[in-house]
A and B are shown apart, each in its own frame.
Chain A
Amino acid sequence: MKNLIAVVLAVLAVICIAPANAVEEPTTPLRIGLTPTFPNDQYRALEEWRRYLEQRLQRKVEFIRRDSYIEAMDLLRLQKVDFAWICDYPFVFFKDQVRLLAVPLYHGRPYYQSYLIVPAQDSQTTSIAQLKNRVFAYADPYSNTGYLTPRFELQQLGESPAHFFSKTFFTWGHRKTVEAVAAGLAQGGAVSSHVWDTLAKVKPELTAATRIVSKSPEYGFPPFVARATISDAEFNAMQRALLAMSQDEFGRRLLGGLNLDGFVAGDPHFYDRVDQMIRAYGKP
C-alpha cells in the first residue's frame, strides 16, 4: 500500500513538473509593434521581413499592428511589446519612456516631410490658408506630418486650428488620408511624404487623384524605439539586425519593398524641430 502511494506521488510529481518546464523555456518571442507610419497593408512583404528578423535574431518574432499611435505607445509603456515603429511626434512626446533604437533612411537620409494634399480637381489651392471652412482629414492625433504640422502651420498663420476647418476627421493612417482626399471626402489632408511617395510607386492611380499643394520642412523619420526596460543584449541584437539589413541582398530587397534605403542608429537631435513645434504649440 505504501509502495502504491509512493508510485502515485511520483507520477503526479512528473505530471506537475513537465508543464512548468515548458513555460520556463527561454523562447519568449520578440514583439514588435507596427503603426501606419508606412503603408502597412502589405501582409506578404511584412511576413517576409518578420521571417528575416527571426533568422537574424535566432528568435521568434511577432508583429503587433495597431492603427493608432497612442495604442502602440501604450503597448510599449505597458511592456506588451519590446520594440515599436512609431511616429516622430509620440517619440518626442514620450521620449523619457522609450529608447531610440534605429532611424530608417529615406532617399539615403533619416528625414521626411509632410505633404499638404488636395483633390486633383482642385487646381486653385496654393496654401493651407485657402482651405478655410473646408473638410480636412488628419491621420492620427499623435502624427507629426498628418496632424501636428498642419495645425502648427495654421497657428503660425494666426488661425485657430480648432475652428479653421468646417470639419475634421481622423483616418487613422496616411494611406487612408490619401484615399479620403482622392475620393473628395476631405478637401484637404496632410500626409507623410514617405507614404505618399511609396503609394505613387505602387498605386499611382490613387496619388494621381490628389495634388501636393506644399511640402513642409524636413523632420526626423519615424523611428524604431525600444521599451525603456529592454535588456541591453536584446536592444543591441535588434539594432544590429536592423542596421545590417542593407548589407545583404535579401535585406536590401525587403528594404526596397518598404521603400527605404537602410537604418542608422539615430540621434535624438534629428527630432529637435518637432520638439520646438511641441514647445511652441503646446501639448496635443
Chain B
Amino acid sequence: MRRLFNLSFRYKVPLWGSVLIVVAALTVSAALMAQAYDDLRNDLLTSSAGLARTLAKNLFPVMLNDEVWRAYEIIRAPLHGEQADDLIQPEMILALDQQQKVFVTTQPNGVPMLADVRQLGAEYAQLAERIAAPATSDAAAVELSGAHKIYVAVPISDDGERVGTVVIVHSKDKFLPRFRSKALRATLTGLLVLALLLPINWYWGQRMAIPVVQLARSIGKVAQGRPAEAFSTAYPYQDELGQLFEVYGMMVKALHDKKLMEQEMIRSERLAAIGRLSAGLAHEINNPLGGMLIALSNLKRRGGHDERTLKTVAMIERGLAQIKDSVSAMLVEAKVKSRNFGPQDVEDVHTLLSGEAHKRPVEINIDSDLVTSLALPANLVRQILMNLLLNAIQAAEEYSTVRCTMRQSTERLSIETENTGPPIPEEVMSHLFEPFASGRENGHGLGLWITYQIVSQLGGQVAAESHDGLTRFSISLPAGENI
C-alpha cells in the first residue's frame, strides 16, 4: 500500500482520477440497475394486483357454489397468452379456500388440489401466515424476503364475506433475462463513458503532474548543490503551482546572485591583499633602490674609471631604472594632486590613441556627454581611459569599431568600453584584474591591475563581461562637481 502512495504524481494523479471515475461509473450503473429492477418489479406487482382483483371478483360466486371447473376456467384464462417472454404472465395462479387449502390451481400436477398450502414448502407456509393475518386492505403484494418467487395475494370476498384467497405467483427467473439485458445496456454505457473519460483523465493528470515533477527534480538538484536549472517549459498560469514556479525562480536567482557576490568578494579581497603586498614590496624596494641609484650617480661623477667599469655601471643603472619603472607602475599612487578631469581630456585621449587605432586598423567611437569638468584627478582618469581603450583596440577584430560611452550624473561618472572579437577565456576572466594575468605576449600585464587599483582608490567599481563576441568593461566613479 505504501508503495502505491509513494508513486510519482505522474502516475498517482491519473491513477486516483481513474479510480474515482470507475467508482463513480460503477455507482451510477448500480443505481440505474437497482432502479430498473424496482421499476420492473413495481410494474409487475401493479398489473398482477389488478389481475388478482379481477379474478377474485369472478371467483367469488364460483367458489361459493363450489364450482371447481368454472374456477379453473377463470384462473386459466390469463395464462393463455403463451408468450414466453411476457413479463406479466404469471407462472401459476392459485385459489385457496378459507382453510388455506388449494381450491383450484393452474398447475394441479405440481400443487395438488385440496393440499394444505402450508405443506407446500417454506415460502408457501410463510405466505399462508401472511394471508391469515387480518387483512388491512383488499389487495396486497406479499413480499417474502429471500423468496425465489413473487406472490400477489388478494382475498376473494364480497361485502365482507371471505371465501378464500387468490394467489398469483410470478417467477423471478422470468424477469432476470429482461433485467439482464437492461443491466447489459447500463454496463455498456458505463464502459463507453469510461473509454471516453479515462484517456481524458490520464491526459489531464499527466499535464498537472509534469510541472510538479519537474519542480521537485529541480529543487532536489538545488538541495544537492548542483546548478539550478531554469525551466524551458514555463508554467504560464497564476494558480498555486504558478506561484510556486515564480518563487522557485526567485530562489534560483537569489542563489545565483549570492554565489556571484561571494566570488566577487573573494576576488576583491584577493586583489586588495595583492595591492597591499605590492605596495609594501614597492616601498621596501624603492628605498634601497633610491640609495643604489644615488650611489651609482656619485660613482660616475667621481670619474677616473676605465671604460669597462663605466659600461658595467651604465648597465646596472639601466637595470635599476627598469626595476624602478616596474615598481612605480605597480605602486599606484592616487593621492597625487592633479587638476580636474574635463571634456578636453577626452579629446586628448582620442587623439593620443588614434595612431594606435590606425595601425590595427579599428575605429574609435567615443560618445561623451561631459560638458564640464568633474572633481576627479585628470591624470588618473586619463590613465584608466587609455588602459581600457588600448586593451580594446588590441583585442578588437580588424575593421571593427571600439566604442566608449561616458555618462555624467550628479554624483557619478560612468565609463563603458566595448569591443568585438574573441571573448576573454573563463580562466583569465577570474583573475582578470590581477597583475600579469593577461595572456597576451606584448604589454607588461599591469594595465588592468593599475586600472583596478585606481578605481578602487577612487572609491568606484569596475566590472568586466565578455560573451557573444562582445567584451565590455564598465566603470563607475563617484564624483562631485568642480572642487
- Using a CB–CB distance below 8 Å, which chain A residues touch chain B? 119, 121, 135, 137, 166-167, 169-172, 176, 180, 183-186
Contact = CB atoms under 8 A, between A and B. Distances in A.
Interface in B109-140: 109, 112-114
Given A183-B108, A185-B104, A185-B108, A172 B113 contact: no
B114 A185 contact: no
B108 A172 contact: no
B113 A180 contact: no
B362 to A, nearest CB: 123
12 contacts: A121-B109, A135-B113, A169-B67, A170-B67, A170-B69, A171-B69, A180-B69, A180-B72, A183-B72, A184-B112, A185-B68, A185-B113
A166 B66 contact: no
Contacts of A166: 114
Contacts of B108: 183-185
Interface of B: 66-69, 72, 104, 107-109, 112-114
Contacts of A169: 66-69
B163 to A, nearest CB: 16
A167 B72 contact: no
Given A166-B114, A171-B69, A183-B109, 10 more contacts: A121-B109, A135-B113, A135-B114, A137-B69, A167-B68, A169-B69, A176-B69, A183-B108, A184-B112, A185-B68
Residue picked from A167, A176, A185, most chain B C-beta under 10 Å: A185
A208 to B, nearest CB: 15
B302 to A, nearest CB: 165
Nearest to B111: A184
A116 to B, nearest CB: 18
Contacts of A171: 69
A137 B69 CA distance: 9
A183 B112 CA distance: 11
B113 A167 contact: yes
A186 B104 CA distance: 10
A69 to B, nearest CB: 16
A272 B1 CA distance: 100
A183 B71 CA distance: 14
B114 A167 contact: yes
Central interface residue in B69, B108, B112, by most chain A CB within 10 Å: B69
Contacts of B68: 167, 169, 185
Contact of B109 (A167, A176, A184): A184
Contacts of B107: 184
B241 to A, nearest CB: 79
B106 to A, nearest CB: 8
Contacts of A121: 109
A166 B113 CA distance: 10
A137 B107 CA distance: 16
Contacts of B67: 169-170
Q: List the 4 closest pairs (A to B, CB-CB), nearest first.
A: A169-B68, A184-B108, A184-B109, A171-B69
Nearest to A171: B69
A176 B73 CA distance: 10
A191 B71 CA distance: 20
Nearest to A133: B114
A121 B110 CA distance: 13
Contacts of B114: 135, 166-167
A145 to B, nearest CB: 17
Nearest to A185: B108
A118 to B, nearest CB: 13
Contacts of B109: 119, 121, 183-184
Nearest to A168: B68
A186 B68 CA distance: 10
B356 to A, nearest CB: 131
